[in-house]
């Protein structure tokens, strides 16, 4: 393929957007381009959500030695359509004692907030809806709104399981937001910008055939690992799915939701998972960059969505593998383990920068810097884990309430 064609394929959606916007009078062109971008997001990500539900059910089925959905369409891949029809035609029940307005607003606020989070996510070269300077901050600020909507859902249902689920969810999300932010700050600090596009650009170089992704540095790897764990907790995914632990709380904060509103919660949860995965990819995995220099001819958006697909598979795999945590373990893990490590990681990232200036850019300098930073992080990880494990008095289980 010639270079021009590669560029065209890479920019096909951008070109399409310009062509369609060009059909309108110049005054409306920015508006039309914006609406097209919004429509793209609203069409693509729920589409991926629909595929994810099938994939998750089939994947979990395989892990649990059963088939999963296989009735609707070829290999059951039209299952989401059946699900959508079902949830749209179901009766929408609002409990008599519920706070109707808040009960109605909760899923709406959740879905709107989560969709807004996609506005600054670069899904390909030049493919970002709003290229604002403080993009990452925007995402975290909008993500904070989701917590409030979960509280609204749980509180307005007037159901103890809903309320308990909501309190669990909010406590968990607030606790894990701290390490999530701090682990993301590493990438922001090393790039020197809060704009997602700039962060991706900073990782787009190659050494030999290997890319300059942040995950290949010690601080980047530690930051990425912390980010993934915090993201799992933030999106209430297994093993951090206590807020909706069905064995304890029926369905957590959306116990009292049915029909379309329940579907909205479901949608919001998966969209939240995909957006946080998208930001993880942007911050640490090079965004839309190719993993090897000789694969750069593949369009940037294909790389982004490929990575997103892998991230979703990873999430499904974890859900099928790990058991659920206990509430106190969850909180202790956030405050005693994740927080100190992410703070240390910030320090390591800063010293990485200054070691680089001090040791020069030679190969030995690079290796020394890499090993020193990795050693500090590994040592801290091992020591902290040992201390915390020793503190935990492991003894035969006592049943405080069941006696």
Q: Which residues bind another protein (CB under 8 A)?
A: 99, 102, 132-134, 137-138, 140-145, 147-148, 151-152, 155, 163, 167, 170, 174, 177, 192-194
Q: In this structure, what DSSP letter does residue 396 have?
A: S
Nearest approach in angstroms of CB 138 to another protein is: 6
Nearest approach in angstroms of CB 316 to another protein is: 28
Nearer to another protein, 66 or 393 (CB): 393
Nearest approach in angstroms of CB 178 to another protein is: 10
User: How many of the other CB atoms lie within 10 Å of CB of 278?
Assistant: 24
Nearest approach in angstroms of CB 107 to another protein is: 15
Nearer to another protein, 6 or 94 (CB): 94
Nearer to another protein, 137 or 388 (CB): 137
- What does the chain come to in residues? 403
Give the whole-angstrom CA distance, residue 182 versus residue 339.
8
In the chain, DSSP finds a helix count (H) and a strand count (E) of: 15, 2
Nearest approach in angstroms of CB 213 to another protein is: 23
Contact 134/194 with Cβ under 8 angstroms? yes
Nearest approach in angstroms of CB 16 to another protein is: 28
Nearer to another protein, 148 or 380 (CB): 148
Question: Which pairs from 324-330 meet CB under 8 Å and 24+ separation?
Answer: 324/238, 324/239, 324/240, 324/241, 324/242, 324/245, 325/239, 325/240, 325/242, 326/242, 327/168, 327/242, 330/172, 330/175, 330/233, 330/240, 330/242
Nearer to another protein, 33 or 142 (CB): 142
Nearest approach in angstroms of CB 151 to another protein is: 6
Closest CA to 146 of 255, 267, 312: 267
Give the three-class secondary structure for 93. Answer: coil
Nearest approach in angstroms of CB 280 to another protein is: 19
Give the whole-angstrom CA distance, residue 75 versus residue 275.
27
Nearest approach in angstroms of CB 133 to another protein is: 5
Give the whole-angstrom CA distance, residue 330 versus residue 212.
34
Nearest approach in angstroms of CB 142 to another protein is: 7
Nearer to another protein, 140 or 216 (CB): 140
Q: What is the DSSP string of 188-222?
A: HHHHT---HHHHHHHT--EETTEE--GGGSHHHHH
Give the whole-angstrom CA distance, residue 347 versus residue 382.
17
The CA angle 237-241-244, to the nearest 5 degrees, is: 120
Q: What distances in angstroms separate CA 152 from CA 72, 148, 170, 231, one per listed residue?
A: 35, 6, 10, 22
Nearer to another protein, 134 or 387 (CB): 134
The string over 151-170, giving b where at least 16 C-beta atoms fall within 10 Å of a residue's C-beta and e elsewhere, is: bbbbbbbebebbbbbbbbbb
Question: Which pairs from 349-353 meet CB under 8 Å and 24+ separation?
Answer: 349/186, 349/189, 349/190, 349/219, 349/223, 350/189, 352/190, 352/217, 352/218, 352/219, 353/190
Q: In this structure, what DSSP letter does residue 127 have?
A: B
Nearest approach in angstroms of CB 148 to another protein is: 6
């Amino acid at each position: 393929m010639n270079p021009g064609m590669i560029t065209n394929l890479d920019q096909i959606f951008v070109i399409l957007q310009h062509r369609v916007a060009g059909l309108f009078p110049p005054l409306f062109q920015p508006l039309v381009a914006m609406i097209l971008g919004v429509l793209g997001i609203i069409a693509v990500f729920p589409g991926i959500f629909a595929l994810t539900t099938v994939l998750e059910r089939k994947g979990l089925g395989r892990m649990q030695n059963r088939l999963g959905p296989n009735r609707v369409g070829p290999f059951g891949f039209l299952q989401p359509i059946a699900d959508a029809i079902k949830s749209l035609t179901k009766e929408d029940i609002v409990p008599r004692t519920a706070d109707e307005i808040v009960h109605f607003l909760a899923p709406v606020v959740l879905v709107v907030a989560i969709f807004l989070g996609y506005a600054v996510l670069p899904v390909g070269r030049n493919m970002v809806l709003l290229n604002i300077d403080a993009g990452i901050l925007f995402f975290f600020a909008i993500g904070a709104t989701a917590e409030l909507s979960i509280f609204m859902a749980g509180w307005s249902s007037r159901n103890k399981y809903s309320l308990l689920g909501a309190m669990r969810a909010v406590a968990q999300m607030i606790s894990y937001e701290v390490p999530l932010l701090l682990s993301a700050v590493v990438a922001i600090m090393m790039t020197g910008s809060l704009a997602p596009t700039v962060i991706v650009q900073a990782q787009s170089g190659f050494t030999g055939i290997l890319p300059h992704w942040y995950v290949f540095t010690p601080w980047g790897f530690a930051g990425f690992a912390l980010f993934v764990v915090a993201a799992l907790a933030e999106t209430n995914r297994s093993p951090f799915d206590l807020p909706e632990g069905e064995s304890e709380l029926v369905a957590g904060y959306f116990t009292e939701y049915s029909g379309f509103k329940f579907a909205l919660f479901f949608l919001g949860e998966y969209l939240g998972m995909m957006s946080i995965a998208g930001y993880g990819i942007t911050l640490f995995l090079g965004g839309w960059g190719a993993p090897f220099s000789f694969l750069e001819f593949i369009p940037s958006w294909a790389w982004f969505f490929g990575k997103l697909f892998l991230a979703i598979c990873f999430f499904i795999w974890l859900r099928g593998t790990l058991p659920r945590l206990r509430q106190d373990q969850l909180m202790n893990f956030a405050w005693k383990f994740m927080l100190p490590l992410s703070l240390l990681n910030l320090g390591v990232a800063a010293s990485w920068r200054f070691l680089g200036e001090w040791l020069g850019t030679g190969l030995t300098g690079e290796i020394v810097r890499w090993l020193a930073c990795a050693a500090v992080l590994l040592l801290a990880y091992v020591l902290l884990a040992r201390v915390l494990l020793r503190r935990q008095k492991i003894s035969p289980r006592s049943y405080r309430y069941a006696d």
